[in-house]
Amino acid sequence: MKLMIRSPRRTLLAVAIAGAAILLPAVALASSGGSQTSATANTAKAASAAQTDGTATTEATATQSRSTSEPRCVRSWLTSWIGVPGGQTAGSTYYQLEISNVSGQTCTLYGFPGVSALGAGGRQLGSAAGRDHGYTELTVTLRPYQTAHVVLQITDVGNFSPAACRPRTADALRVYAPGDYASMKFPFSFRACARRGPVYLHVSTTIAGTGIPGYSG
């Protein structure tokens, strides 16, 4: 599902502000390592930037070329969070998985993140996310406190046989930025498959701009 409503950005971001009470708790919990206070302040600042009126200073940009003078974004410069509510279709729910630059360094993202579900004790549940190639891969440039997003599809595990899936409740999502080997984790509860095989998560390539639930593709 790709919701392609294209109202002016200022209007859409005004809608996002109304949902800030829902989004910000996820941001506040999105720290992994380092100071809880500074991580919360930085992620809140990134979310606040996402709620402005869409000026060039707060809008991530995307280009066809992979060549750039800016470095690739790494874990220590980033945090990840999720926009709720998700959009439901028959058999799946789609979420805006956000990746925010909380550093003072401009950097770039290109390609697909690595995403998986975590259960009790931080153990991975089942297979990692598959890739949805329905979006063009572009280099996304993130200035400080800008946000990009990924469309995350979570398939209803009832679509798989219990024996093949072994349903469990996930406690968190683990996210690797494209090309990086250090992960971000944040609490998020949903039904998952504990057995490897069924691919119940799918992600798009990285998309410029903050994903707004119900509006962004």
The owner of tokens 């294209």 is 6
Instruction: Give the model's pLDDT for residue 53.
Output: 38
What is d(CA 109, CA 89) in angstroms, rounded to the nearest whole number?
A: 29
Q: What's the mean pLDDT in 82-100? A: 95
Q: Which two tokens mark 209?
A: 């701009």
Q: pLDDT class for 211, splitting at 50, 70, 90?
A: very high
pLDDT reported for residue 156: 98
Would 133 be classed as within a structural domain?
yes
Say if 213 falls within a structural domain. no
pLDDT at 65: 61
- DSSP β-bridge partners for residue 167: 193
Residue range(s) defining the domain that contains residue 35:
9-208
Please provide the DSSP assignment of 52-112 as one string: S---TTT--EEES----SSPBP-GGGEEEEEEEEEEEETTEEEEEEEEEE-SSS-EEEESP
Is residue 141 scored above 80 in pLDDT?
A: yes
With respect to residue 214, please indicate whether it lies within any of the assigned structural domains. no
Digit-coded pLDDT (tens) for 50-90: 544 333 344 677 776 666 789 999 999 999 999 999 999 99
Average model confidence (pLDDT) for the chain?
A: 80
For residue 217, tell me if it sits in a domain: no
pLDDT of residue 213: 87
In this structure, is residue 87 part of a structural domain? Answer: yes
- Residue 79's pLDDT is 97
Residue 84 falls within a domain, yes or no? yes
- The tokens for 10 are 């200022």
Q: Where are the beta strands (DSSP E) in the chain?
A: 61-63, 78-89, 92-101, 107-110, 114-118, 124-125, 130-131, 139-142, 147-155, 167-176, 183-193, 201-203, 207-208
C-alpha 116/C-alpha 173 separation (Å) is 6
In a domain, 97, yes or no: yes
Q: According to the model, what pLDDT value does residue 208 have?
A: 96
- Domain contains 101: yes
Q: How far apart are CA 31 and CA 43, in angstroms?
A: 8
CA pair distance 117, 52, nearest whole angstrom: 31
Quick one: what percent of the chain has pLDDT higher than 70? 70
Q: How confident is the model at residue 39 (pLDDT cuts 50, 70, 90)?
A: very low
Number of domains in the chain: 1
| pLDDT greater than 80 at residue 37 | no
Rounded Cα gap, residues 156 and 190, in angstroms: 9
pLDDT at residue number 118: 98
Tokens matching residue 83: 């926009």
Model pTM above 0.85: no
